[in-house]
Amino acid sequence: MLNITASRRTRRQTPELNMAPLIDMVFILLIFFLVTTSFVKEAGIEVSRPTASTAAVQPKATVIIAIDKNNRVFMDRREIDLRAVRANVERALAENPDGAVVVVADRESSTGVAIQVMDGCRLAGAKNVSLAARIPEFGR
């Protein structure tokens, strides 16, 4: 009887770990997170925004237009002419008609340029045009 159990132990194979289902599950999770993630749009330049105590978080902006301290206007990481703001916003809103426009103006930029950009956005048909500001940090 002792020989039978010893022969059974020698015939047993070592347990194997099948990695295929694990890899499939990792890929399914990766695809799920890629599909559900909303990507943050950037203006393409560094802008020093002014602070405002009444600033509110904009949940989703379709079009971001930046104005640097030299009053140059940027959209989708490229510089555009001030007169071309309306055409560019119209093109962007054609893809998403309910989209919001956020104007990110540097604190050293001219107010007149910011108003011209916002006016061009409204003439392009944008219903929601906002001016970006930073929320002040308390304790500084």
pLDDT band with cut points at 50, 70 and 90 for residue 41: low
The domains found in the chain, sorted by start residue, are 40-140 (3.30.420.270)
Helix (H) or strand (E) holding 131: strand 129-131
**Tokens matching residue 74:** 């940027």
Do the beta carbons of residue 103 and residue 65 sit within 8 Å?
A: yes
pLDDT, mean of residues 129-134:
84
Q: Which residues make Cβ contacts (< 8 Å) with residue 89, sequence separation at least 6?
A: 63, 65, 101, 120, 121, 124, 125, 126
pTM of the model: 0.63
Whether residue 140 is predicted with pLDDT greater than 60 in this model: the reply is no
Q: What is the pLDDT of residues 71-103, one digit of tens each?
A: 999 988 889 999 999 999 999 888 888 888 889
